[in-house]
Amino acid sequence: MPLLNKIGTTASRPSPTPPGLRRLRVILTIFFALDGFIFAGWVVRIPAIKDRTGASAGDLGLALLGVSVGAVITMTLTGRLCRRFGTHPVTVACGVLLSLSVALPPLTHSAPALGAVLLVFGAAYGGINVAFNSAAVDLVAALRRPIMPSFHAAFSLGGMAGAGLGGLIAGSLSPTRHLLGLTVIGLLVTAVAGRALLRIEPPAPAEARDARNIRGSRDTRDSRDSSPGTNNPPIPDSTCTSTPNSTRAPAPNGTRTPDSTLTPDPTLRRPAPRTRRLVLVFGLIALCTAFGEGALADWGALHLEQDLAAHPGVAAAGYSCFALAMTIGRLSGTTLLERLGQTPILVAGGATAAAGMLLGALAPTVWLALLGFAVTGLGLANIFPVAIERAGALAGPDGVATASTLGYGGMLLGPPAIGFMAEWFTLPIALTSVAVLAGLAAVIGCTTRHR
């Protein structure tokens, strides 16, 4: 079984977590939750901002595309920024930009202006997702525990809190004051958590550790070959280069010291073609699962109300059932991954989601459909985090960027694809495509078990 499937699955008692890594986990959890909180707060004010700008449904759709375009473009670039400057500074910088840009939409008075500011908001959203997921991948490797689902659970909980708060204050606060309040909260949290994050030494990326091991073995060989009595000169090391600081051991508590500053090495080799293909495979898994999340967010309530004659309040609870089940699944994800391993989670999660979505789409009653939505959420809960983690373990920030871009593309592709299929067939039949892609994710996950 590959190393990636063995992380955290041994029966031995885990060693105590170093204080620095424990603090890093807490801080990254805060940033994940903040991201979900801010994004959900913006989403619940979209109707009010639509009224303020006077945009038609079509114009609003084009403006909202700015979030997607900004996110996708930035995701492809953030991996390089993380390699050059480190994941922690990029996370903090994107956190500041995200907090500032969320206040801009209610200040616009036309759909083009709204689209322009949403490009900035989407860029910050995409950037911070790649940056803190990359930092989380390095932390997972350092702890040798599959804790990635816990970070995504924090994002889900932050989103639920942001949506709940937005719903409560929507009637008493204007969008301008509400989103400006989110800016203040975001900047305060980023100032406190970001300062602590910048003082913590990032765990060495997996590729950097491998390069150092290669260099260490070559140094040993070179010293042996160049010892007295031999005629062999030392062999120059062209595999990797590192700055003096990058080879120093981190401080025992994981904090930065003047003698333990990690300098990201831009000269590390590009991943091999086989590695890049595997990253694309895990990105495809992320796409298949994110497709379902986007589809249920936009079409789940309409299916319950239009096809099953559900009360609007009950129909609105459809996505809540899905989101709550997904959050519960992610909160239990670390335990499940430690006991079962990553490949079984990918396969079982995809199969469970496929069965749940078939029930949700084709059930003859509302309550069975709600049960299907909840089962789908449980199945999909840990597939996306595992796919991102494995892509990052294979190729570092660039792997996270590639998989995140594909996954986010799936979330964007889902709603319009369901709409087109609903016109060609029916909405219940269209929603079964979520089950098909979840099943495909399970099959792909099964093929990666020996890789």
User: DSSP secondary structure string, 219-238?
Assistant: HHHHHHHTSTT--PPPPP--
What does the alpha-carbon distance between residue 147 and residue 145 come to, in Å, rounded to a whole number?
A: 6
Residue 323, token pair as written in the block:
């989101």
Mean pLDDT of the chain: 82
Q: How confident is the model at residue 219 (pLDDT cuts 50, 70, 90)?
A: very low
Residue 435, token pair as written in the block:
């089950």
DSSP class of residue 7? Answer: T
pLDDT at residue 347 in the model: 95
pLDDT at residue 187 in the model: 98
Digit-coded pLDDT (tens) for 109-143: 999 999 999 999 999 999 999 999 999 999 999 99
User: DSSP strand E in 71-216: where?
Assistant: none
> Can you tell me the mean pLDDT for 322-344?
91
Does the pTM exceed 0.85? no
What does the alpha-carbon distance between residue 335 and residue 331 come to, in Å, rounded to a whole number?
A: 9
Tell me if 133 sits within 8 A of 7, measured CB to CB.
Answer: no
- Spell 93-122 as b/e; 16+ CB within 10 A means b: bbbbbbbbbbbbbbebeebeebbebbbbbb
List the helix and strand counts (H, then E) for the chain.
16, 0
pLDDT at residue 450 in the model: 57
pLDDT at residue 300 in the model: 86
pLDDT at residue 64 in the model: 82
> Can you tell me the mean pLDDT for 221-247?
41
Digit-coded pLDDT (tens) for 29-39: 999 999 999 98
Q: How confident is the model at residue 192 (pLDDT cuts 50, 70, 90)?
A: very high
122 in helix, strand or coil? Answer: helix
Report the 3 state secondary structure along 124-146.
HHHHHHHHHHHHHHHHHHHHCCC
> Can you tell me the mean pLDDT for 409-438?
88
Tell me if 69 sits within 8 A of 193, measured CB to CB.
Answer: no
pLDDT at residue 449 in the model: 67
pLDDT at residue 368 in the model: 95
